């Protein structure tokens, strides 16, 4: 493996998702263990360091049955700078920015680009991270992020977006491209996403309903009642019960089958 990775020039033929089909290009190195990760088929070309030459973004993913280290997303963006014609020099990477439903990387101008992640499951948010190249520091920095809520207008088939959050960063607040984490950046939104609902039956004779975890109410359910579970929090489950009237609250996990 060491011998393989010590080869200075690696030759690839990759079909680009930006219309540059059958590109042959040379990379000076791949800084990852190729027994664990592999290159995705898509490659993205555009100028991101303001030198009028198209640079290269490659996306890697961990191979089947290869678990990424704790904290990594399982997908990696590696950025290569166009040194001459089809020869690219490795510059940096990010192992944390792509979510499960990575959408796209788009060029804004010759110094900036945006990475768009889509929510998955019941997450209808769209997450935008904007990066810009610093000519003095010779690196890329996060300068803005936005969160949009996706929805469908009545009578329309196309998805619409509504801006629900925007954060601009001053120079001393900016994070390097290599350090930006999707989870850390959007933690508050991820915590608000409901878990996929499912139904269970009460197994105890009397299950207290809590208005909030550890805050008892006067209501209770009885053995055999079926509840819709929409969220978990520690030892508690958020539930809906549909009887003579709808009841919303929390019960202990130990109270269901």
Residues 75-84: tens digit of each pLDDT: 999 999 999 8
For the chain, the 3-state helix, strand and coil shares in percent, each to the nearest 5, are 10, 55, 35
Examine the pLDDT at 36 and tell me if it is beyond 70: yes
Which band of pLDDT confidence, cut at 50, 70 and 90, is reported for residue 57? Answer: very high
pLDDT score recorded for residue 245? 83
pLDDT score recorded for residue 192? 81
- Name the pairing type of β-strands 246-252 and 236-242: antiparallel
The two tokens of residue 84 are: 């001459």
Domain boundaries, the chain: 1-95, 96-193, 198-255
The two tokens of residue 185 are: 């950046």
Which band of pLDDT confidence, cut at 50, 70 and 90, is reported for residue 198? Answer: confident
CA separation for the pair 206, 218 (Å, rounded)? 12
- Note whether 165 and 186 are within 8 A (CB): no
Residues 138-191: tens digit of each pLDDT: 999 999 999 999 888 777 777 889 999 999 998 888 999 999 999 999 999 988
Examine the pLDDT at 96 and tell me if it is beyond 90: yes
List, in sequence order, every residue forming a beta bridge with 95; answer none if it has no partner.
none
Examine the pLDDT at 11 and tell me if it is beyond 50: no
Chain center to CA of 28: 28
Helix (H) or strand (E) segment spanning residue 163:
strand 159-168
> Which option is the CATH number for 198-255: 2.30.30.40, 3.20.20.80, 2.60.120.330, 1.20.1440.230?
2.30.30.40
Angle at 121 between CA 117 and CA 126, to 5 degrees: 25
Structure pTM? 0.71
Angle at 180 between CA 178 and CA 182, to 5 degrees: 135
Q: What percent of the chain has pLDDT over 90?
A: 58
């Amino acid at each position: 493996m060491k011998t393989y990775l010590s080869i200075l020039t690696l030759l690839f033929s990759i079909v680009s998702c930006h219309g540059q089909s059958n590109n042959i290009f040379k990379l000076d190195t791949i800084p990852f263990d190729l027994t664990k990760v592999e290159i995705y088929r898509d490659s993205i070309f555009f100028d991101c360091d303001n030198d009028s030459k198209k640079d290269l973004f490659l996306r890697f993913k961990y191979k089947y049955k290869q678990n990424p280290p704790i904290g990594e997303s399982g997908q990696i963006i590696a950025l290569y700078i166009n040194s001459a014609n089809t020869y690219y020099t490795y510059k940096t990477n990010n192992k944390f920015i792509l979510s499960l439903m990575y959408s796209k990387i788009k060029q804004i101008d010759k110094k900036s680009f945006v990475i768009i992640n889509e929510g998955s499951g019941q997450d209808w948010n769209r997450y935008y991270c904007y990066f810009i190249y610093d000519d003095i520091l010779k690196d890329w920095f996060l300068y803005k992020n936005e969160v949009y809520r996706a929805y469908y207008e009545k009578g329309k088939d196309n998805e619409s977006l509504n801006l629900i959050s925007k954060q601009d960063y001053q120079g001393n607040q900016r994070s390097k491209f290599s350090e930006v984490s999707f989870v850390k950046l959007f933690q508050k939104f991820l915590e608000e996403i409901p878990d996929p609902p499912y139904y269970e039956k009460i197994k105890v004779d009397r299950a207290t309903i809590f208005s909030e975890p550890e805050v008892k109410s006067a209501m209770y359910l009885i053995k055999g009642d079926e509840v819709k579970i929409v969220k978990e929090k520690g030892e508690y489950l958020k539930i809906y019960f549909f009887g003579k009237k709808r009841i919303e609250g929390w019960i202990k996990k130990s109270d269901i089958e």
